[in-house]
Structure 1
């Protein structure tokens, strides 16, 4: 089966989501859960699979990620510039800042912003089901040094 820190947990997560625990699914879930940067494109997942010696096609990676999204295991973010990234759905809300130069995605949470959004919606007689806030700009590293200071 899968190599990694907690293959049985990944298998249980897949079964809970109604998905059979196949080797490609387990490997892809393991990559998403163990990455130091929790926002990966399908191509980045594919490259990591190839680097680890797995023979999984890019079409399979897209299909598995779409299945994970439908099952609620991952969240897909469609950032400007046609860039889609996937992150494991850990259940907590957060927002994103996207550097338009290096492509790095930074997570943040601000209680005041959340409270203000709820207040604006309530004042308008609107009930929020879900929301996403994406801030686009240039990270400090790119602005000062021409390279991202957050990338490994």
Structure 2
């Protein structure tokens, strides 16, 4: 099933129509699936393809996509929401982890879910069913650390 068929199926199954604007937003997210795009970044990428599409439409589309499970909205404490497209074959919303560089703002995905064993311990100890978790590690990426070592100083964060 190609991306537009998948999008159309999800929209239809949730009572929404497929539109050119929704298809375009989904296309941009799919093309940038390894990035965490803000609404403004999606808008900047769409402007070349459809200069008449307004940012309000993109805000509404991303909100809809989040509600129906097409995207996950992240808050990386940088003042804006960022969106990540969900895998088409994913039936759960269990998230991977992120490393956030306090100097350059780079966001690095940790592909392994290292929290599974900790979740099992917490569930048993507190008799609590964990549905999801969000883990953000903040620090300094290797490129920024290398620059600091070359320049002989550390930029204050």
Query: Do the aligned partners of 2:96 and 2:113 also contact (CA within 8 Å) in 1?
Result: no
Equivalent position SS for 2:8: helix
Partner of 2:22: 25
Runs (4+) of structure 1 exceeding 6 A deviation are none
Partner of 1:62: 59
* Unaligned stretches of 5+ residues in structure 2: 149-157
Query: Do the aligned partners of 1:25 and 1:64 also contact (CA within 8 Å) in 2?
Result: yes
Tell me whether 1:15 sits opposite 2:21 in the alignment: no
Aligned residue pair count: 142
* Unaligned stretches of 5+ residues in structure 1: 147-152
Cα RMSD of the aligned pairs, angstroms, is 2.1
Determine which of 35, 39, 43 is the counterpart of 1:38: 35
* Rg larger for: 2
Determine which of 129, 138, 141 is the counterpart of 1:139: 141
Query: Do the aligned partners of 2:33 and 2:84 also contact (CA within 8 Å) in 1?
Result: no
Q: TM-score, normalised by structure 1?
A: 0.81
Partner of 1:119: 121
Equivalent position SS for 2:132: coil
In the TM superposition, residue 112 of structure 1 has moved relative to its aligned partner by: 4.1
